[in-house]
Amino acid sequence: MSRTSARAAPALLGAMLGVAALGCGRDAPREPSLPASAASASAGGRPLGAPPSPPGTAPPSAAATAPPSDHGPPPRIVGGGERSVSGRHGVVTSVEEHATRAGVSVLEAGGNAVDAAVAVAAALAVTHPSAGNLGGGGFLLARPRGGPTTAIDFRETAPSGVDPRRFSAMIAAGGRGPSSVGVPGTVAGLALAHERLGRLPWAHLIEPAVRLARDGHRVGDRQARTIRWAWRHLDAGARAVFGRGGAPLARGARLRQPELARTLERVASRGRAGFYEGETAAAIIARLGRERIAPEDLAGYRAVVREPLRVRYRGLDVELMPPPSGGGAVVALTLAALGELRAWERAPGSAEEVHLVVEVWRRAHAERRRRVGDPEALGAEADAELRRRWAAPRLLLDAPPRLDPRRATPSREIDPEMYAAATAEQEHTTHFSIVDADGMVVSCTTTLSAGFGAGVSAAGVVLNDSVAAFGTAGVNLPAPGRRSVSSMSPALVLRDGAVLLVLGSPGGETIPSTVTQVLRHLVDHGLPLDDAIDAPRLHHSFVPDHVRIERGRPIPAELTRGLEALGHRVAGGLPMGDANDALVLDGVAWAYADPREGGRALAARPAAPPRAPADPATPPAPAR
């Protein structure tokens, strides 16, 4: 809360966290939600480009409303807020400043959002090594103005050497090390996105990352902490890169990665072949052993174009990543159920409202654990049936035990088998959002699974531990060539076919909770983008069976008491990921970098005639 303006703070407390009366008891009256105009006023919203309203007056409407729907009155979206950047020539927001600059430099060189996404992702492999990667995987949604949306699945696959004995031994040993490494997908995914939708030459897009790896950059505070946290898991090769004198690099130290620079140069000159064949592939196989990853595993990897999941919410179309994204399924199920419950009619932040959200979440996560798996393993018919199932608004509400609006349902009663088998996820991911001058958008989340993945490096590349993301119950079971389920859930929200919101977050199983809450703050609670992202968050994921509160951002005691009166257990200390998101309104793009991990959002200047991207280490012109 300390990062919010004094003017915005009342909106965060009132619209999000329960300063409104708490409808805790069985006979408590339902309180109407804050009218959109009042919410906009309290949140500090005003029309884009308009002067501030005089003190004590409500500003005029900041946006047109969405078309009517069977989910209540159309929502009003107010804008980006005072701390967001904005512009008409494109915006980029990511967890790390050098990566954001790399993306903006591409936009200013005449590239589009997909070009910028390639540059950002490649730079994050250098400057955010705990999650940004060449050796992991991810999901990407890209949509040109007018559509259609392309969903690219580059989740890692299990190598041919996976077997039950080796899998069990790896899990028992902590889920890291060479046996946990899946076949990386990031380079193939970025190459496929560029092949389909890119504009500038591929080599130009990788060049900023090459320079950052070769010349080095200063380690930031957050980077230093993640290196320190992961130090005991890193192998000798990784320690040689991320340490000095046998100790982790400290804040301000210069991190140079010449071996990674050479790998990036091969990727720049040869595309996906520069990673999956030749010297890079040989180094990965030599480090892991052919019994774990064979040359055929690498050469045979393919990113996949999938049809997005779609759900309607209050007249808006929400497009989500389909399986193997479990997060997309959770968001779709949650919005479908909350729309049917008309959750926005409850007082924002009241125990009554939060109870409904939590009860939906616990059921959605039980569904995810039981039914989400690799679409190829499930088959086309089963995949189509699941898509229909997840769009049904009554699915979670009518299944026994039915959702009780006045009492929490213990998770073990919803699915006893999955409750007994479930274990907590520990994905370390990173998300970025991009809007270009032509209205193309990209929402992309990448991961190494755990922080610094398996703790193993080869050819300067930190490798994932995605094999540990398979389970022992449900359909997410390990098998050669299979993609493990991930909670990553990049999302696009459309109004009348035009992109309104570009959303996503890291954070493992908390990702769909973050995406849902930011979306609802914008759509249901009338907050601007910066306040919607800054607002404290809650989480419930079926197991463990308690409402978890974000670390360092407590909720009011009244809300805690209200939830406990409804039968919930409330616990604190949960880290939740940074939501680096964007909003497009009236031809203006807004972007905000979540302060939770100290990211950076920048707006692009008008594009110059096509040229090679500028050096990302050069400070950009002030954002306009």
CB 132 within 8 Å of CB 430: yes
Longest dimension (CA), the chain: 70
Rg over CA atoms, the chain: 23
Phi, psi of 463 (to 5 degrees): -100, 150
CB 475 within 8 Å of CB 377: yes
Predicted local distance difference test score (pLDDT) of residue 432 = 98
Q: How far apart are CA 372 and CA 388, in angstroms?
A: 13
Catalytic residues: 429
Predicted local distance difference test score (pLDDT) of residue 22 = 28
Q: How far apart are CA 90 and CA 557, in angstroms?
A: 41
Q: How far apart are CA 46 and CA 58, in angstroms?
A: 9
Which structure tokens are listed for 521?
Answer: 């703050």
Q: How far apart are CA 542 and CA 512, in angstroms?
A: 13
For strands 570-574 and 547-550, give the pairing. parallel
**Residue at 74: amino acid letter:** P
Predicted local distance difference test score (pLDDT) of residue 19 = 30
pLDDT in tens, 484-520: 999 999 999 999 999 999 999 999 999 999 999 999 9
Give residues with Cβ within 8 angstroms of 149, minimum separation 6: 141, 142, 143, 308, 319, 492
Which structure tokens are listed for 149?
Answer: 């949306």
Helices of type H across 93-185:
97-108, 113-127, 164-172
Q: How far apart are CA 348 and CA 370, in angstroms?
A: 31
Predicted local distance difference test score (pLDDT) of residue 292 = 94
Predicted local distance difference test score (pLDDT) of residue 614 = 57
Q: What is the mean pLDDT of each run of 10 residues along the chain (624 residues)?
A: 34 37 29 27 27 29 34 84 97 98 98 98 97 97 97 98 90 92 98 98 98 97 94 96 96 97 98 98 97 97 97 96 96 96 94 97 94 93 92 90 96 89 65 98 96 96 96 89 96 97 95 98 97 96 94 92 97 91 97 95 85 53 35
Instruction: Give the residue from 68, 49, 70 showing the smallest Cα distance to 60.
Output: 49
pLDDT in tens, 23-78: 332 222 222 222 222 222 223 332 222 223 332 222 322 232 333 345 667 888 99
CB 410 within 8 Å of CB 545: yes
Which structure tokens are listed for 272?
Answer: 């996906």
pLDDT in tens, 127-171: 999 999 999 999 999 999 999 999 999 999 999 999 888 899 999
Burial (CB count <10 Å: 0-12, 13-18, 19+), residue 481: middle
Predicted local distance difference test score (pLDDT) of residue 595 = 95
